[in-house]
Amino acid sequence: MTLRHMLESDAYQQLKPQEKALMTLLHIHWRVDDHVDYGIREAMKKIPCSKAIAMRSFKNLSDKGFITCVEESLFSSRTQSKARGWRLEWMPFGKEKPTNYWEKGRD
């Protein structure tokens, strides 16, 4: 399985431009041994888009099996906040191979 296979797939081609942009942003932060911490505010700034579109983009990518939330966000006014942690399902994670849920049509 190659990245090209995913990019040419119907599942990827049906994504909205903002969702494709978000996938690229997440991919930039990918490391084989850790999940990707990325939040709504950062997506809004980098894509750029509204909060509603950023939230919908994360949800759609998750629903379609491209990403999985592995750690919830944490907001605290007294301590440092933390963005959600994501597994990119088209990439390996630790010793595990990519799940490629997006191919199986998780939604």
| Domain residue ranges in the chain | 20-104
- Compute the average pLDDT of residues 34-45: 95
Element (H, E) at 28: helix 17-28
**Span 20-104: which CATH code?**
1.10.10
- Across residues 12-22, what is the average pLDDT? 98
- C-alpha 6/C-alpha 90 separation (Å) is 8
First to last CA, the chain: 21
Cα–Cα distance list, 11 to 7, 31, 51, 69, 92 (Å) = 9, 24, 24, 19, 19
> What is the per-residue pLDDT across 50-104, written as a single tens digit (0 to 9) for each?
999 999 999 999 999 999 999 987 665 566 777 899 999 999 999 999 999 999 8
pLDDT value at position 82? 75
The pTM of this model reads 0.89
Considering only residues 79 and 33, tell me which one the structure prediction assigns the higher pLDDT. Answer: 33
Which residue, chain included where needed, has tokens 């994504």?
15
